[in-house]
Structure 1
């Protein structure tokens, strides 16, 4: 089993010809509401990209919070529709579900502003309540769109139970000292890696960033580089993986899709290089489609 702990958002997506300037009113294009949130996106990607789910084997569970509003009901239904276990998705009364306001320009690049809502109330108590579920897991996946104290508590619990811990340190934020030592696979992008390493992202070298993060405690660092591919500093050595060349329509959730493909690959028995390859194929496929969860492929679509 894979357990994903993290955010569940409704994405409010607006197409724009370009990003607006400060103070500018810009006429946009199509508007859609699409289930998202980094945690939920990664759970969906894990579920869709696992070859065992359809056969009733490997399962994916989500731990998170939604509000008691229409968005919350829709978000839960979307996850259940992908076969994700929702027994520890908590509906909080009188609270709004998380949302992300997303602008996507004609080049497929995005700009995102998040209102955490119910995600901001995911607490260590929710993690403790899900201990039985986490005990069943092989891999536990986390991000940083929920309170840091909760993320750290969950990492410590998962590690104490002997689980493989995967952390996507996004949005970029500083981590408490010692946390990286508890993470088996750290998967940042370049900006997040630079922030964690305490250097400027301008001109930063991926190999140097990965080495710096390994010195801080994480055995395996996988830095996603967008169209430049992936740099992986693994326990067994350093490797570069070229990206597939595609025409990007929307890069929303590309990183989440990579993580889901990688984790699903590991859980199904792939070695790290094979799992990275699966994540890259999935991410390349996703950027050719609009939206977050609407762009995440199923395993059979990659072949």
Structure 2
């Protein structure tokens, strides 16, 4: 049972502010924190802390000191980094402001994450061994397509379309390669090219095996064939929402891998279970600061689900 995450890895610089500044405005921060981030790396950490699956990460860091520390943090979490390459130049970085209401703004400087558009032979071997391949759009779409093409015949490809980007490129369309598409409401509208959520669901669901739309405090909507399920959110007093969606995705992927099921046998019950675990993990994560630092353990997630549904 294994998950391979192909994606971005960043050094996060997180400033706590009273409020997000308006254009042209300067505000003073009360603190600043350096921590590991990047959607791909965050999701790998979340999948690994789910506890039941092995996790590998495929991506790139730079030749700077950030690259060394980011690699070391993944290793410390028990993540296989044999597919993490090093390229000349800086590692990825994200500049994040978090205000007193737990909202954030994020500016990503891709750095090494933008360097690769194909997998190396070693990275292809890592991807081919996975039961679940999880990707996002903080890396070139060509690399997402390469990862999908390198997976095994019975492996899942989960795409978290964040940040949203065109699905049809010179390398082809992403849709045929995707088993489960995970988007938030904004991303669903953007990918579908409409301004109504129901219209977006109608447009997107037939193009993948399953569609997952996360809706914040309203939970998530799961669509699989002709079936739908609404999975409620877990109550939380949020202090920092950075990385909450990544935590959801990593836990979701780990749950699918632990099930031992293949994409052809997907059903709404399995997807709802995965979304419930993801929602519980995200609810815990938003009560803490940082992205990877905030990801809970499997025991914490199980305890929250048990308390809520007792």
Q: CA RMSD in A?
A: 1.4
Q: Tell me the equivalent position of 1:241.
A: 231
Say whether the 8 Å CA contact 2:205–2:225 is kept in structure 1: no
Q: Tell me the equivalent position of 1:24.
A: 25
| Secondary structure, aligned partner of 2:30 | coil
- Matches of 1:297 and 1:60 in 2, distance apart? 16
1:124-149: CA deviations, max 9, x gaps? 143x4312212211000000111111
* Mapping of residues 6-85 of structure 1, within 5 Å: 6-50=7-51, 52=52, 58-85=53-80
Q: Tell me the equivalent position of 2:201.
A: 210
Superposition deviation, residue 236 in structure 1:
5.5
Superposition deviation, residue 22 in structure 1:
1.0
Say whether the 8 Å CA contact 1:14–1:31 is kept in structure 2: yes
- Matches of 1:16 and 1:73 in 2, distance apart? 29
- Matches of 1:134 and 1:64 in 2, distance apart? 11
Matched, 1:173 2:157: no
1:68-87: CA deviations, max 9, x gaps? 11110110000001100011
Superposition deviation, residue 17 in structure 1:
0.6
Say whether the 8 Å CA contact 2:193–2:200 is kept in structure 1: no
Matched, 1:107 2:101: yes
* Mapping of residues 179-218 of structure 1, within 5 Å: 179-200=174-195, 204-205=196-197, 207-215=198-206, 217-218=207-208
Moved more, 83-92 or 261-270: 261-270
- Matches of 1:21 and 1:130 in 2, distance apart? 43
* Mapping of residues 232-271 of structure 1, within 5 Å: 232-235=222-225, 237-269=227-259, 271=270
Match of 1:145 among 129, 138, 141: 138
Say whether the 8 Å CA contact 1:265–1:275 is kept in structure 2: yes
Matched, 1:279 2:270: no
| Secondary structure, aligned partner of 1:150 | helix
Q: Which runs of 5+ in 2 are unaligned?
A: 261-269, 304-310
Moved over 4 A (4+): none
Superposition deviation, residue 157 in structure 1:
2.5
Moved more, 130-139 or 7-16: 130-139
* TM-score after normalising by structure 1: 0.92
Say whether the 8 Å CA contact 1:210–1:222 is kept in structure 2: no
- Matches of 1:124 and 1:74 in 2, distance apart? 24
| Secondary structure, aligned partner of 1:30 | strand
Q: Tell me the equivalent position of 1:118.
A: 112
